[in-house]
Structure 1
């Protein structure tokens, strides 16, 4: 999700907990009935009706199971009416209540079920934090619709096995029908457009696994600007922006900003993860959200100069989720900091790449003030999205990555980061958790970082700097409250030196009071 100031995020998060009448949270322990099968593919066919803010259509779900199933359980909010469910061309019995759709399979070797449904769409109260559909009109009077569902899951727009650990292994086919002259931007590649006198159907598809909340579609009258991006992998990938007609003169600049952000992410995270599809953003009537290959953008083209290029923090952050969130995905929201923290750290790396080390360190120091250390970054196992989502998964999560850079040094840290994002064990169809990340860093670096990770991921405690004057001998320096050592820079009258610092006092010679960690590589009580 998007990166914003801590105060705004905290207030928004607090308000949302009490303003959303429906309990559309997701995650937590997986339903025992849903453990028995996995999703292979979704084929979503929807007609969009902007005049009455409703949808109607079907979702054909291809699934796989090693055993005969008595019940197929999916999630779909009660706001939609299910008219029928079919398997192998036959209507089957179903129950739809309490946002759960239970289907009784017929006795066949079928691996598909089609759910037909329709209804008024749930309206987002405070998108994207409290999500749903956002229906507006642009300044030219055209309908404009955006969808956000990170906090709610796919059940607010389609029947699905709605758990963060579940992704369709063979991707999705998405058919959207809308009245002319509207266009529907969505995931993957646009394979076909069937234009009629009154309405048009757009067929989008991706063969990559995709998280439920990343399946997305935006309706509007858009201007398209595009080019071809040459990835560091050598692949040529379509680069596309869709903006409202009223902003068509800004499309070219947005495309340039997008291209620069992709280049920067590729330097630190590796090749763009979805080269068979596209790199794209679409203008939305809310701030923004990561949606695989079609990121939502609502930051009003607020570019700022950074070195020789232009920077858009919202665009850059959402794009970073293509690597951490979309390619590298957690199966338990307890580990959401991997999505948000590493992606937020990617925002800081834009400062490093284009503003230099001084701009990067200034950014880091400013972010440190926004960390209250109120909740652990890693939540308990089987957390729901609401339980795990809080401001520090961004700021403190990013700072942990910054501290790792200080601990390991650039020669180890940056190759390690890229290697993690490229490891087959943790990408695409495979889910990742915090232990995977910690063990990967330990194995890659050969360093004992268990104490470091336990402290910063699992607690709100901080090492306390203690400096004692020992007269002519110098200064006695230690870090109270930890049982491990960290390589810490110390500024003295003779310059900066790096020492392994922990609970055991170290004698530092200096004619002036030593400055502990002057570049703020670590979160410390000073």
Structure 2
């Protein structure tokens, strides 16, 4: 990949560290946003399985085929909403051999089921479609297909749609609250090319028309945006970690570099197994797939485009030098397998559950390899990209993410909570228990808050409220009154309280400030004698005199 210097500077400045299309900073919403983001009566069904059968024509940037959607009606269902971008053609929709009538509105398709599906019954529809899907201009920061060629002139094709929506290229119930329990993909591509999708390889079939069909099966719940295809002239090699199959698909001329670079996967798994528990999709295996864009957390088929460089395309997002010791895309995007793919936010307004926790996995990996001191330094360095202009939780029901601060600010929030715990054994146990408790589940922010709050006697509710639902961080104010120092919090949350560690002339103590002034017992101190333990607590400090 080639990036302009200006584009790279902008990426680093705003620290949009992952590869999602962040939809924050939007303040007005349309009917289209509501159709996509809300759980309307027409969405009262539970998707059980998708079976995608597609033909991809690279020279025309064209796809055609079908998705068989197997579902269970949660209530009587006369009309069902299936999402497909309006630029894509609906060829027909068939149920039990009968063509169904439908209406389209924006990117939603409302299907008249004829005889309503009775509550709790299971049925399926075959949705046939075709068209030229949206092309990404700057994947993965905008959504769409990527139609590229490798340096030998072979088609090299990928898709990145997180945020923008999986309905950009296939019909589905495009809402994060509902994950199919399994997916099968049968993707036909020109002979000589390979398609790599999620899950296990089920076989290839020469169709006799110049195309070969590559079949893959996923046997775990999966986010819609994670369902993927990767088409190219791939070379394959494999490895194993404990009971986990590791498969790698790379361009042939990068095979030697990949075999060296991807050795880091086993070091990463050592760390993540210890801190988060077993890889959550052992049954589907783990893959890294070289892509013509930077990367994405596609479940069991992680997209890799970091050009076999350390850091983030050879740069360190933290500015500390620590980020150059490891391959950012391998670590970050695989971290999403636990946070985002296994534990999924029901509404994208809560995407910090994906991005904040996954950004924290970077520091966890640093700590496993190089120690806590460097992990804290790395997290502190990430703060340079935090803007604190808007909350990191978005608006619910309208397909709205919060601000891009969800990455680094979310990670620093978790580090601050660890410091509040003041007990690393308890912190690691709580983090691992949380990760295993909600494995393969769809949850919300309150569930996350309650879990971490229950593990400590300190009330974390005001902490979560301030960092997640307000734009600014709490400010610790210090002032001298006569011969003593007073301190308090200034925050948006009413009656905000949070313990914090400070050093007074080099001696570390814990303060328990509130929004009322409190007084240190020490005499003859100035505010300059007091320093926050900044590596452990992400707060602002203001010395009033």
Q: Do they fold alike, i.e. is TM over 0.5?
A: yes
Whether the 8 Å contact between 2:51 and 2:183 is mirrored in structure 1 is yes
Q: CA deviation at 1:60?
A: 0.5
Q: How does 1:6-85 map to 2 (within 5 A)?
A: 6-7=13-14, 9=16, 27-34=36-43, 36-85=44-93
SS of match in other structure, 1:113: strand
1:368 aligns with 2:383: yes
Q: Secondary structure at the match of 1:71?
A: strand
Given the alignment of the two structures, is residue 341 of structure 1 paired with residue 356 of structure 2, yes or no?
yes
Do 1:493 and 1:511's aligned partners in 2 also have CA atoms closer than 8 Å? no
How big is the shift at 1:181? 0.7
Alpha-carbon offset, residue 196 of structure 1 = 5.0
How many Å separate the matches in 1 of 2:282 and 2:247? 13
**Mapping of 1:210-229 within 5 angstroms?**
210-229=222-241
The SS at the match of 1:460 is coil
Please state if 1:415 is matched with 2:423.
Answer: no
1:237 is displaced (CA, Å) by: 1.2
The 5-angstrom pairing of residues 240-389 of structure 1 reads 240-303=247-310, 311-384=326-399, 387-389=400-402
Q: C-alpha displacement at 1:310, in angstroms?
A: 5.3
Runs of 4+ with >4 A deviation: 12-17, 23-27, 304-307
Q: TM-score normalised to the size of structure 1? A: 0.89
Flag the 1:499–1:301 CA change in 2: closer, same or farther, 3 A. Answer: same
Matching residue of 1:193 = 204
Q: 1:327 Cα shift?
A: 0.5
8 Å Cα contact 1:195-1:201 kept in structure 2 = yes
Give the CA RMSD over aligned residues. 2.7
| Aligned positions of 1:440-479 closer than 5 A | 440-469=451-480, 474-479=484-489
Q: How many residues align?
A: 505
For structure 1, which segment, 348-357 or 507-516, has the greater mean C-alpha deviation from structure 2 after superposition? 507-516
Separation (CA, whole Å) in 2 of partners of 1:317 and 1:26: 31
Are 1:112 and 2:124 counterparts? yes
Deviation at 1:33, TM superposition (A): 1.1
CA contact (8 A) 1:27 1:333 kept: no
1:494 to partner: Cα distance: 5.5
Q: Give the Cα separation in 2 of the matches to 1:408 and 1:52.
A: 57
By how many angstroms is 1:153 displaced? Answer: 1.5
Secondary structure of 2:273's aligned partner = helix
Shift of 1:474: 5.0
Deviation track 1:80-115 (CA, whole Å, cap 9, x = no partner) reads 222222111232323345322222224487701101
Q: 1:492 to 1:226 in 2, by over 3 A?
A: same
Please give the alpha-carbon distance, in whole angstroms, between the structure 2 residues aligned to 1:57 and 1:24: 27
User: What do residues 404-443 of structure 1 show as CA deviations (whole Å, max 9, x unaligned)?
Assistant: 01101212211111111111xx332x32111111111122
Work out which of the residue numbers 186, 190, 213 in structure 2 matches 1:179.
Answer: 190
Give matches, 1:433-444, under 5 Å: 433-444=444-455
Deviation at 1:501, TM superposition (A): 2.8
Unaligned runs of 5+ in 1: 18-22, 231-235
Q: Measured at CA, do residues 15 and 92 of structure 1 come closer, stay the same or move farther in structure 2, by a change above 3 Å?
A: closer
Instruction: Please tell me whether the aligned partners of residues 79 and 116 of structure 2 are also in contact (alpha carbons under 8 angstroms).
Output: no
Q: 1:519 to 1:271 in 2, by over 3 A?
A: same
Which segment is superposed worse, 489-498 or 203-212? 489-498
1:65/1:316 CA distance change after superposition, 3 Å: same
- Pick closer, same or farther for the CA change 1:196–1:63 going to 2, 3 Å: closer
Q: 51-60 vs 141-150, which deviates more? A: 51-60
How far apart are residue 445 of structure 1 and its match? Answer: 2.3
**Cα deviations by residue, 1:299-357 (Å, 9 ceiling, x for unpaired):** 111125999x9511122111111111011001111111111011011112222222222
- From 87, 100, 124, the equivalent of 1:92 is 100
Tell whether the 8 Å contact from 2:102 to 2:110 is kept in structure 1 after alignment. yes
Partner Cα distance (2:449, 2:417) in 1: 11
Question: Could you tell me whether the CA contact under 8 Å between 1:239 and 1:259 is conserved in 2?
Answer: no
Instruction: Classify the secondary structure of the residue corresponding to 2:385.
Output: coil
Supply the distance in 1 between the matched residues of 2:301 and 2:51 (Cα, whole angstroms). 18
SS in 2 for 1:51: helix
SS of the residue 1:136 aligns to: strand
Classify the secondary structure of the residue corresponding to 2:479. Answer: strand
1:517 correspondence with 2:528: no
User: Taking structure 1 as reference, are residues 244 and 493 closer, same or farther at Cα in structure 2, changes over 3 Å only?
Assistant: same
Moved more, 133-142 or 250-259: 250-259
CA separation in 2, counterparts of 1:468 and 1:446?
Answer: 29
Q: Using the alignment, how far apart are the partners of 1:71 and 1:276 within structure 2?
A: 35
Contact 2:504 2:531 in 1 (8 A): no
- Tell me, in whole angstroms, the C-alpha distance in 2 between the residues paired with 1:275 and 1:347: 22
Summarize the Cα distance change of 1:27–1:187 in structure 2 as closer, same or farther, 3 Å threshold: same
Q: Do the aligned partners of residues 437 and 476 (structure 1) sit closer, same or farther apart at CA in structure 2, a change above 3 Å counting?
A: same
Of residues 416, 431, 440 in structure 1, which corresponds to 2:442? 431
Change in 2 beyond 3 A, CA 1:398/1:124: same
Equivalent residues of 1:240, 1:255 under 8 A apart? no
Measure the CA separation in 2 of the matches of 1:102 and 1:350.
46
Asked whether the 8 Å contact 2:345–2:443 carries over to 1, the reply is yes
Offset of residue 289 of structure 1: 0.9
**Is 1:102 matched up with 2:93?**
no
Aligned with 1:48: secondary structure? strand
Q: CA deviation at 1:263?
A: 2.3
Deviation of 1:116 after TM superposition, in Å, equals 1.3
